[in-house]
Amino acid sequence: MRPWVEDHIAIDTEAVARWQGVELDLTRPLSSERICEAAQADPAIGEYAGPYFAMAALPSCLQPAEPLARAVYETGWRAPYAPGPTRDQLVEVIQDAVARRDRTQKASR
């Protein structure tokens, strides 16, 4: 269980950095998520990702694919973002909701 927990901690830590706009640091080991997403650009990575996604092998099964993924990222390729609002749009929605809540609370006093 521990390897999977550690894997997901690394994925979550990287996700927070990505949401904050931190660029991928190719001097550090790639997370399993980054290795797997690089399969979009290099299908050869998929043969390593299959057992990982099926949980038939530990996250370490992706280590042989890391050089392949690193080569993908070194070209400048990055996975496309999923469709949806931008960070700035989300911030605006949150600020509007907080302002409405504050107005409602003041009005009810």
C-beta of residue 35 within 8 angstroms of C-beta of residue 65: yes
Would you report the helix, strand and coil content of the chain in percent, each value rounded to 5?
70, 0, 30
What sign does the CA torsion over 26, 59, 67, 80 have?
negative
Average pLDDT, the chain: 93
Q: pLDDT by residue (tens digit) across 43-89?
A: 999 999 999 999 999 999 999 999 999 999 999 999 988 888 888 99
Q: Coil, strand or helix: which one is 75?
A: coil
Greater confidence (84 vs 34) lies with: 34
pLDDT of residue 89: 92
- pLDDT > 70: what percent of the chain? 100
| pLDDT at residue 97 greater than cutoff 90 | yes
- pLDDT > 90: what percent of the chain? 83
- Per-residue confidence band for 11, with pLDDT thresholds at 50, 70 and 90: very high
CA distance 47 to 85: 33
Residue 45 burial by Cβ neighbours in a 10 Å radius (0-12, 13-18, 19+)? buried
- Kindly list the domain boundaries of the chain, sorted by start residue: 2-83
